[in-house]
Structure formats: structure tokens, C-alpha cells
Amino acid sequence: MRRPIRSFTVLLLLLAFVLAACQRAQPTPTPAPAAQPSPTPAAAASPTPAAQPTPQAQVTKPTDPIGVLEIKPGEPIVLAWMLTVSGGTAQLGEDSKRGIEIAIEDLGGELLGHKIELVGEDSGCNPEGGQAAATRLAANPRIVAIVGSSCSSEARVGAPIIDQAGLVMVSPSNTAPDLTDPAKHVDAYLRVAHNDKVQGRVAAEFVVNKLGLKRVATIHDGSLYAEQLANVFAENVQKLGGTVVAQEAVSPEDTDMRPVLTRIATQQPELIYYPIFNPAGSYITLQAKEISGLENVKLMSADGLLEPQTVQNAGQAAVGLYLSGPDLTVLGPKYQEFVQKYQQKYGTKPVAGFHAHAYDATMMIVEAIKKVAVQAPDGTLYIPRKALREALYQTKNFSGLTGNLTCDQYGDCADPKIAVYEVFSTDTAGWPDSAIRKIYP
Amino acid sequence: MTIAAPHRFTGGRRIDISQLIVWTIGGILLAIVLLGSILTLRAGHYTAAQWRDFVVFGIAQGAIYALIALGYTMVYGVLRMINFAHGEVFMSGAMTTFFLADYLNRSGFLKAHPWISLVAMLLFSGLVSMTVAVLVERIAYRPLRGAPRLVPLITAVGASFFLQYTFRGLFGSGVRAYPAIPVLQGKLWVFQKTQIAVFVGVLITLALLVLFLQRTRAGLAIRAVAEDREAAALMGVDVDRAIVTTFAVGGFMAGIAGVLYALVFVQVQFFMGFLPGIKAFTAAVLGGIGNLPGAAVGGLVLGVIESIGPSLFFDGYGIRAAHQLKDVIAFTILVLILIFRPTGLLGERLGGEERV
């Protein structure tokens, strides 16, 4: 009976591949920048000791419980991004990355006499990716602060690693309530995106009060973001007098959603709420109307699907889909200016919902660096890391593109403005205006 | 249709402790499944129409698994090796054909001549996948023909990664959506038209495969090599040629499966081959690896179980969001089958003595 043994070996191998696959989504890391600047400090440092034999560092170097970053003259200030820039969620992360790039451009690429260098890691919108990206970033001692992550599940495992390394991160698009929950929040973590306690409530109000629908079903994909948002939505629907008839889950790699939709159809919901990501979200959009019993069901999703891909992938099936997300229509002239720069630089309008947030996150970090950085007479810049964190937490009435940001002690800095959009056309050339329109509030 | 006489299990059974444990686990799993099914059926949440829908969805998905599984099983038959790059062969056809489909759609040809377009897409995808499969064989497997069995397995995984990231580099990491084919929209009786297209496509492909293996000299050569490679070589069969043909035919079917997949699921991306590849491999093992009808049956069974299983087995226990457990169910069934019938549903191999 050798066969079962062999088959189990094969199974074991299979498991190894599946595990390996989880890691696959990351591309090779951006070439380690450590090698590149080494000639610069060497060149810059050699004349300094010759001219002034007294070590400058002792004079002004601040002390800090978790370390002081020393940036010699000529060395860049390194900021990092940790976003999802590949796979189905690429637009979400790419959009945020562009926000950071524009912010750096607005600063003239310079801060306190040092060039700003941007490095980054793809975090793939899953816990494994978040862990890998955070570990890589934590290993780079030159990084001052991180803008990221894109997806909440990345931050759940990534933030503690960043925390351990003494870095600090400001997320432009994490929205899961869990991350700033007093019991689970880590010191290194702040965000400028809204907390989903707000988004879930607004979505529920829209469904029950505006649409007048009482029977809803939810689907999540097991990710932190989706599960928590679906739950917040469900709680609020119940509070408002509606019924949650089914709470289902799929996995992000699923392609055949028909069985789960058929399960939902048995409960005859009037609306299905699936705050998940692409491509799984588009599969649901595409397949929902095929199911007998769901022909007239309304579909609603959230900011994870607020991108042109959603409409491109689902085509005609996406028309009528409701999407909640940050309300970009109420933002002031500064935002319009930003959008123009975006369009000039990338030849398209913003492709997802969190570009302005990323811009704000970057500017908030820059502001905090300015506050705490100490400049030695020889031009060396010292950034005490703990003080940098504290400065970020003390952010008050920071006037950003997304509103007036004030951070609380658990890292929530957003000035949340949530809107519900409706997809009315499959034309994504002029996204967002050509395809979606705001209908609530 | 088996290429040679089906394997018959004849060895006497020696009962020992480990086997007893395995059988007990199997028994418990079986009991859980049966009890769950009875509870679900008695609760009666689902109408007959809904059960029928589950089966239809399962068959549509399973038919695609079956097409891919045939590639695994044929290669196993002739080379005794698992071609783990096969999922990527499937992906390469679907991804490349996206551009043809997109072009046909933009030029309006797709609307004017939907059937011609569809056939063109299937052939194009088949040819692309065939080329990729043959190249993989030529570059990654043939130089290692005499090597220990694990070596080609490792290169297979390497080839799989290589193909994935080549396609990622060429076509980007984003998801692309196939254009809708107008004649395949909507329903015919209870079936989606795309599902019917998949059934028909799979049936035609299977029929052609059987004809090819039974009625052509190349098919005969493949069967001879599967039976006994050395003997076939001694009888003047060009073994390398037969192996290349096997890869070509398997690749062609994977390409067809790629387009059929895109008809049903619309979205394609560079990573799409991984899961279907694993599932098809499972299907091949389920049906009995090396056994062609086994692969087809295994694919269908796996598809249907995935579709119907979460509702049938778990609803009765009141487990919420059971659909997430569909892979657990699929692989549990695999384990059960390996426990109670180690050679798979229809028995293993193409023929000849097993050389392990």
C-alpha cells in the first residue's frame, strides 16, 4: 500500500505550493537603496572631520527612547510607501502612490535642505503581503516614516512590525474599526482614512432611509476590512429597523459566486451589500443578476470597489450598482487643483478614492518632521523617532485636502465625509464623472 | 474510454493500526457529511429549482476543471510526472486571446459574426497554449528525461513561476475583462447560454480527443508509450515525438478551457491559472490519475461538490457563511476518496506495470 503514502506526499507538496503562492503576489523588492547613497556620505563626511575635529553629533544630537535617525548633509530623507500595486487591487494602491508623488512634487522634492527619496513595497492587499512588505521596510534603517497600508488586513499584521522597528505609518485607506480599537491599536499606527464605523452607518442609513429597503444580505471575503464593514453595516441596518437575512462569505480567489448567491436567494433579500475587492467583487456584480430570485435585487458595495476596474470588469452588469466611499465632491478648491496636477502628471483622472488621503498623509508626516527635526550646524539632520510619533498624534486642525485633520489618541485622524455613488454608465474614460454620480447625502 | 485495461485492485488487505485510524477518520468525516445532508434536506430551505441550479453551476465549473485535468492526466500517463505548469498553459491561452477578443470587439466583427469569432478565439487560444506547452516540454522537461522523478517536478514549478511572471511582465498585473458575446447572453430554459456553450465545447473537445487517441497513428503512439516506453521505443515508436504530441494535445485543450473559462467568468489575469490548475490536478487524482475518463468524471464531481457541498453538508448544522468552506469540502472529499479508494474513482493509470 504505497500509493496512499505517495498521494499524501503529493498533497503535502501541494500545501507547500499554496503557502508559497500566498507570497507570490509581491514583486522583487525595489533595489535596495542602501548601496546607492554610500558614496555620497563618504564624500560629504570626509571633509567635515578634517575641518572640525570636534564631533558635531555630541553637541546637538537629541536623545529618544526608540532612536534618532541621523541624516548627513547630502543624504536624502527617505519616505516609504506600503501599498498594493499589483493584482486586482492595483488601482487602489497606485492611486494612493500618485497622491504621495504629487505631495513630494509640491514640496519641490526637498525638505529642510535634504532631498526627499521615495521607496516602497507592494503589500498585495493580504496579510501575508502586509507582513512581507512591513518586514522589508522595517529592515531599512534610513526610512523616516511610511505612508500605508492600502488594505486593513495588511496593517493588522504589518503595523506591529513597523512598531517594533521604531518607525511610524500613516495609512491613506485603511478603514477597519479594528485598527484603531483601543485594545488593539499599536503606537506606530495612524490613519487619515475614515473609520468604517462611519462608512457602515452611512451606507445603512442610505439603504434603509433613502431606498426604503428592509431586507439585506451581506457578503465579505474574510479580510479584516470586509468582515468588519459588513458587520457594522448589518448592525446599523438592524438598528434602523431592517432585517439582515443572510451573512455570507467568499474567499478573495473565488470566481464562481453563483452557489453563494443562490444560497442568498433563498432568503429573498432586497439588497446585497458586499464591501470587498476586485476581482471577487466584480464576479459578484456579474453573476448576481443571473440567479433566479435575484433578478431585481439591488447591489451595493463600498470604497474597495470604488474604482474604474469595477465598471470595466462587470460592464453592463455594474450599472445601478451603489458604492459608498469618501465624498470627494464636497472638497474645496485645493482638491480641484490637486486633481488638475494629477491629470497633468498621469494623463487620467484619479483612478480610486484615496489619492487625496495619501497626499494628506504625506503632508502630515512632513509637518511632523519639520516640528521635531533638529539641524546640527554642519547640516546633519536628526529626527527623533518617538518625538516624531508624538508630533503626529498631536496633529490638530491640520488643513488637508480631505478636510481638517485632528488625530485622536488611537490614531484616527480623518475628517470623515462619506457619500454613496451610483454607477450610471459603463464609460470609464472620464472616470469618475462619466460613470458614477453621487446620490447621497 | 481507457487507453488500456482498467486497473483492478487485487492485493490482499493487511489491517494494521495506522490503517484503522485512517479508516476511523474517514468514517467520521463520512458521518458528518451524511448527517449534515440529511439535516439540510429535512430543513428544506432550498427548492428543487435551487438544487438544480447548484448542479448546473457545478457542472459548468467542473467541465472546465475536466478539460484541464485531461492535460495533467495524459502527461502523467506517458511521463509519470505531474506537469505543474499546466495551469499556466491554461492561463497563457486565456490571457493572449483576450487581445484577440478585444480587437474583434472593437472592430465590430464580434457582433457581426459571433460564431466565427468564437471559433477563432478557441482555435487561437488552443494554439497559443499548445505552443507554450510544447516549449515548456522542450526546454524544461526533455533535458531531464532520465533524471530522478522529483527533478522534473521542481522544474515544473519553476516553469509555472516563469510563465506567470512573464505574462505579468508582458500584460501587466491588472485584471482584464473579456467582451460580452451577444449571442451568448441571457438564458435558454434554466441554463445560461454561456454554460451551454461550455458543455458543448467540452463535449466536442472530448469527442475529438477520443477520436484522436483511438483512430490516429499519433494516438496509437501515445498509447504505446503510455503502456511501456521502452518496449514502444524498441518497436520503432518515436518516443520524443509521442511525448511532444501529448503535450501539444494537452496544451490545446487547456487553451480551449481558457476561453470557455473566460466566457463564464469574464475576468482574466496572470494569476488565474493557479487555482484552476490545482483544482484540476485534484480532479485528476480524484478520478484516478492517468485515467482519461477518470479525469473527466473527477472534474465534474469536484465542480458539483464545490457548488453543492457547502449548502448541502453544512446548512443543516446552522454554520454561517458556509460557502467559504468549499475548498475544505473539495479537499476533504479527496482525502476520503484516497482513504477508501486509493486509486481514485475510476482507478489509476493508463496501463502497464506501475514503476515506483
| Amino acid code (one letter) for B335 | V
User: Per residue in B20-62, pLDDT tens?
Assistant: 888 888 888 888 888 888 888 888 778 888 888 889 889 988 9
Residue B267 to residue A253, Cβ atoms within 8 A: no
ipTM confidence score: 0.77
C-alpha cell at position A406: 485632528
Average pLDDT over residues A100-111: 91
State how far the Cα of A31 lies from the Cα of A19, in Å rounded to an integer.
Answer: 25
Can you give the residue ranges of every domain in chain A? 63-194+333-416, 197-328+419-440
**Nine-digit cell at A75?**
543624504
Neighbours of A101 (CB within 10 A): 20
Chain A contacts in chain B segment 59-118 (CB below 8 A): 61, 82, 84
Q: What is the mean pLDDT of residues B118-144?
A: 93
Decide if B288 contacts B298 (C-beta within 8 A).
yes
**Which residues in chain A are closer than 8 Å to B335, comparing Cβ atoms?**
11
pLDDT: is A325 or A56 the higher one?
Answer: A325
Enter the DSSP assignment of B47. Answer: -
Backbone angles phi, psi at B152, to 5 degrees: -60, -25
Q: How far is A220 from chain B (nearest CA, A)?
A: 9
Q: How far, in Å, are A177, A179, A190, A192, A391 from residue A396 at the CA level?
A: 21, 21, 14, 12, 10
Q: How far is B320 from chain A (nearest CA, A)?
A: 7
Look up residue B145 and give its three cell numbers. Answer: 528525461
| Contact flag B50-A266 (C-beta cutoff 8 Å) | yes
Q: Which residue of A has its CA nearest to B289?
A: A7
Does position B134 have pLDDT exceeding 90, yes or no?
yes
DSSP characters over B14-35: ---HHHHHHHHHHHHHHHHHHH
Q: With 80 as the cut, is the pLDDT of residue A25 above it? A: no
Whether B265 and A283 lie within 8 Å, measured CB to CB: yes
- Chain B residues touching residue A290 (CB < 8 angstroms): 187, 192
Q: In this predicted structure, what is the pLDDT of residue B14?
A: 63
Q: Check B175 against A278: CB less than 8 A apart.
A: yes
CA angle B86, B87, B88 (to 5 degrees): 90
Chain A residues within 8 A of B168 when measuring between CB atoms: 86
B310 touches chain A (CB under 8 A): yes
Average pLDDT, stretch A286-291?
Answer: 86
pLDDT, one tens digit per residue, over B290-347 is: 888 888 899 999 999 988 888 888 887 877 777 888 888 888 888 888 888 888 888 7
Asked if the C-beta of B46 comes within 8 angstroms of chain A's C-beta atoms, the answer is yes
pLDDT score, position A39: 40
Q: Mean pLDDT over residues A357-374, rounded?
A: 92
Alpha helices in B235-316 (DSSP H): 239-265, 274-287, 292-314
**Can you give the pLDDT at residue A51?**
41
- Asked which of A68-72, B135-139, B163-167, B340-344 is least confident by mean pLDDT, the reply is B340-344
% pLDDT > 70, chain B: 93
pLDDT at A133 over 90: yes
- pTM to 2 decimal places: 0.76
CA distance A17 to chain B (A): 9
Any idea which of A45-54, A84-93, A122-131, A294-303 has the lowest mean pLDDT? A45-54
- By Cβ distance, the residue of A11, A249, A279 closest to B269 is A279
Distance CA A176, CA A246 (A): 21
* Interchain contact, A313 vs B53, CB within 8 Å: no
Q: Which chain B residue has its CA at the smallest distance from A291's CA?
A: B53
Give which of B90, B105, B164, B266 to mutate to test A binding, by max A Cβ within 10 Å: B266
Residue A432 reports pLDDT greater than 90: no
Average pLDDT, stretch B133-142? Answer: 92
Buried b (16+ CB within 10 A) or exposed e, B305-330: bbbbbbbbbbbbeeeebbbbbbbebb
Q: Do A248 and B323 touch (CB under 8 A)?
A: yes
Whether A24 has a pLDDT exceeding 50, the answer reads no
Q: Distance (Å) from the C-alpha of residue B209 to the closest C-alpha of chain A? A: 27
CA A339 to chain centre: 19
Could you tell me the pLDDT band of residue A9, with boundaries at 50, 70 and 90? low
Closest of B30, B94, B37, B102 to residue B273, by C-alpha: B94
pLDDT tens digits, A250-285 = 988 888 888 889 888 888 899 999 999 888 899 999
Condensed to tens digits (0 to 9), the pLDDT of residues A198-225 reads 899 999 999 999 999 999 999 999 888 8
- State the DSSP string of A324-352: EEE--TT--HHHHHHHHHHHHHHSS---S
Kindly state which CATH superfamily the domain A197-328+419-440 is placed in: Response regulator (3.40.50.2300)
Q: Is the separation of the CB atoms in A94 and A86 below 8 Å? A: no
Q: Is B173 on the interface with A (CB under 8 A)?
A: yes
Rounded Cα–Cα distance for residues A88 and B301 (Å): 30
pLDDT of residue A144: 92
CB < 8 Å to A279, chain B? 175, 267, 269
pLDDT confidence of residue A44: 41
Average pLDDT over residues A71-88: 88
A253 contacts on B by Cβ (under 8 Å)? 275
Look at B202 and A87; give whichever has higher pLDDT: B202
- CA–CA min distance A4, chain B (Å): 6
pLDDT in tens, A317-357: 889 999 998 888 788 888 888 999 999 999 888 888 889 99
Residue type, A200: G
Nearest chain B CA: its distance from A186 CA (Å): 30
In chain B, which residues have their Cβ closer than 8 Å to the Cβ of A86?
A: 168, 173
Find the farthest-apart pair of alpha carbons in chain A and give their distance in angstroms, rounded.
83
Q: Which residues share a beta bridge with A82?
A: A121, A148
| Cα(A352)–Cα(B70) distance, integer angstroms | 41
Residues B62-95 have pLDDT tens digits of: 999 998 999 888 888 888 888 889 999 999 999 9
Which of A91, A222, A286 comes nearest B266 by C-beta?
Answer: A286
pLDDT of amino acid A60: 67
Give me the residue label for grid cell 460564431: B115
Q: Compute the nearest-CA separation of A315 from chain B (Å).
A: 8
Which chain B residue has its CA at the smallest distance from A17's CA? B157
How many CB pairs below 8 Å do chains A and B form together?
134
Distances (CA, A) of B148 to A200, B74, B239, B285: 57, 20, 18, 21
Burial of B193 (0-12, 13-18, 19+ CB in 10 A): middle
How distant is the Cα of B142 from the closest Cα of chain A, in angstroms? 22
Compute φ and ψ for B92, nearest 5 degrees.
-60, -40
Measured between beta carbons, which residues in chain B are less than 8 angstroms from residue A23? none
User: Distance between CA atoms of B282 and B87, rounded to whole angstroms?
Assistant: 12
Cβ neighbours of residue A388 closer than 8 Å, sequence gap 6 or more:
A144, A145, A168, A368, A369, A372
CB atoms within 10 A of CB B154: 13
CB of B48 within 8 Å of a chain A CB? The answer is: no
Residue A313 and residue B192: Cβ atoms within 8 Å?
A: no
Q: Is the pLDDT of residue A375 over 70?
A: yes
Q: Which of A263, A272, A428 has the most B C-beta neighbours within 10 Å, making it the best mutation to test the interface with B?
A: A263
Q: Which pLDDT belongs to residue A19?
A: 53
DSSP string, A60-117: H----TT-EEEE-TTPPEEEEEEE--SGGGHHHHHHHHHHHHHHHHHTTTEETTEEEE
* Contact check, Cβ <8 Å, B356/A2: yes
User: Would you state the cell numbers that stand for residue A92, as one nine-digit string?
Assistant: 487602489
Q: Which three cell numbers stand for residue B183?
A: 449571442
Looking at the complex, report in whole angstroms how far the Cα of residue B120 sits from the nearest Cα belonging to chain A: 23
Q: B17-340 — its CATH code?
A: 1.10.3470
Task: Write out pLDDT tens, residues B214-267.
Answer: 899 999 999 899 888 888 889 888 989 999 999 999 999 999 999 999 988 888
% pLDDT > 70, chain A? 86
Q: Hey, is A136 helix, strand or coil? A: helix
Superfamily the domain A63-194+333-416 falls into: Response regulator (3.40.50.2300)
For chain B, what are the domain ranges? 17-340
Q: What gap in Å lies between CA B297 and CA B288, rounded to an integer?
A: 9
Instruction: Round the CA-based radius of gyration of chain A to a whole number and report it.
Output: 24
* Nearest residue, CB atoms, B61 vs list A17, A220, A256: A256
Q: Can you give the pLDDT at residue A36?
A: 40
Q: A4–B180: do the CB atoms touch at under 8 Å?
A: no
Cα–Cα distance measured from residue B240 to residue B232, given in angstroms and rounded to the nearest whole number: 11
Query: How high is the pLDDT of residue A49?
Result: 41
Residue of chain A whose alpha carbon sits nearest to that of B274 = A21
Per-residue pLDDT, A184: 87
Task: State residue B354's pLDDT score.
Answer: 41
Cell, residue A170: 500613516
Which residues of chain A have a CB within 8 Å of the CB of B187?
Answer: 290
Q: What is the dihedral of CA B168, B278, B58, B286, to 10 degrees?
A: 160
Contact call for residues A406 and A412 (beta carbons, < 8 A): no
**Could you read off the pLDDT of A139-186 as tens digits, one per residue?**
998 999 999 899 999 999 999 999 998 899 999 999 889 899 888 899
Among A94-98, A101-105, B10-14, B273-277, the minimum mean pLDDT is found in B10-14
- State residue B94's pLDDT score: 92
Distance from C-alpha of B289 to C-alpha of B334, rounded to nearest angstrom: 12
Instruction: Kindly report the nearest CA distance between residue A64 and chain B, in angstroms.
Output: 42
Residue B12, pLDDT score:
54
**Would the pLDDT of A131 be above 90?**
yes
Chain B residue nearest residue A311, CA to CA: B177
Which of the 8 DSSP states describes residue B138? I
Q: What percent of chain B has pLDDT over 90?
A: 26
